[in-house]
Structure 1
Amino acid sequence: MAKREHLAFETLHLPADVDVLAPDTSEIRELLHNPHASMAHGTLPAGSVSVAIKHKTVHEIWYILGGEGELWRRSGHQEEVVHLRAGVVVTIPVQVAFQFRALGDESLRFLMCTSPPWPGHVEAVLVEGHWELPES
């Protein structure tokens, strides 16, 4: 019989403070992680457009909590823009270029599950985006 890996139970409340800015410029609050996946809460401020990137080795699933926005994804010749609002779930497979923006006057808020766990900023590769970034 194979030995089972013992994992401790973990419980966490959503942190009030942002932990880090993601390579795409969204505000990240790190939640839990284990050897197989990580979870984080993301916020893109109202009216913002993210930097376009693709991931080298991780897959993500996003669940939209609130706000409204759009997500652009491109893989080879396949490309689409989808509307984001509370209750929508999207995937961002490995090596898929993506960019998103928050529409209206409310921040776009979402949960991200990343597998394998997020390895850090070296994971993100800048790509040409679908939308122009606002002037700073």
Structure 2
Amino acid sequence: MLDTSLLANLPEHPDVIAPDGSEIRLLKSANEVSSMVHALLHPGTTTHAVHHLTVEESWICVAGEGELWRSNDAGESVLSLTECTTCEIPVGTTFQFRATGNKPLEIVITTTPPWPGDHEAVRVHGKWAPSV
């Protein structure tokens, strides 16, 4: 029989506000080597730029439209985010994102290793002025 204890609907209100300013809803997972969240950014808003000290992230955009700016020693780029776009945020990469469409930008994020706490994300200067 399948374990249904991990099934849940997204809560209406965020569990926390991330250091970058996005709304975070925690997702249940049986996986102990990573953590998973649902991030939401309202239309017309831009996060604070951050970089992570020890974790990497894998993203899949599940709704909305936006842009993701990433910068590291290899260079910088701006990626368009639309439904089903996937991307990686390597450790130490500076990044910032914004919601450019008429609906909220929604992203499911897996963090490896599991998110250790807000001290992990260091705010830095970004490409755009933050509005959250």
- TM-score, structure 1 length as denominator? 0.88
- Residue 101 of structure 1 aligns with which residue? 98
Larger radius of gyration: 1
Code of the aligned partner of 2:6: E
Superposed displacement of residue 127, structure 1: 1.2
How far residue 91 of structure 1 moved from its aligned partner, in angstroms, is 0.4
Q: What pairs up with 1:17-28 in 2 under 5 angstroms?
A: 17-28=13-24
Paired residue for 1:115, among 112, 115, 128?
112
- Alpha-carbon separation, structure 2, partners of 1:47 and 1:130: 15
TM-score, L = length of structure 2: 0.90
| 1:101 partner amino acid | R
Determine what percentage of the aligned residue pairs are the same residue. Answer: 44
CA distance in structure 2 between the partners assigned to 1:83 and 1:73 by the alignment? 11
| Equivalences for residues 1-136 of structure 1 within 5 A | 10-33=6-29, 34-134=31-131
Q: Which amino acid aligns with 2:128?
A: W
- The letter of the residue matching 2:66 is G
Q: Which runs of 4+ in 1 moved over 6 A?
A: none
Unaligned stretches of 5+ residues in structure 2: none
Number of matched residues? 128
* C-alpha distance in structure 2 between counterparts of 1:76 and 1:131, whole Å: 19
Question: 1:26 and 1:36 mapped to 2: Cα distance?
Answer: 23
Please give the secondary structure, in 2, of the residue aligned with 1:133: coil
- For residues 35 and 130 of structure 2, what CA distance do their matches in structure 1 show? 28
Three-state SS of the structure 2 residue aligned to 1:129 is coil
**Root-mean-square deviation (CA), in Å?**
1.7
1:107 aligned partner, one-letter code: P
Gaps of 5+ in 1: 1-8
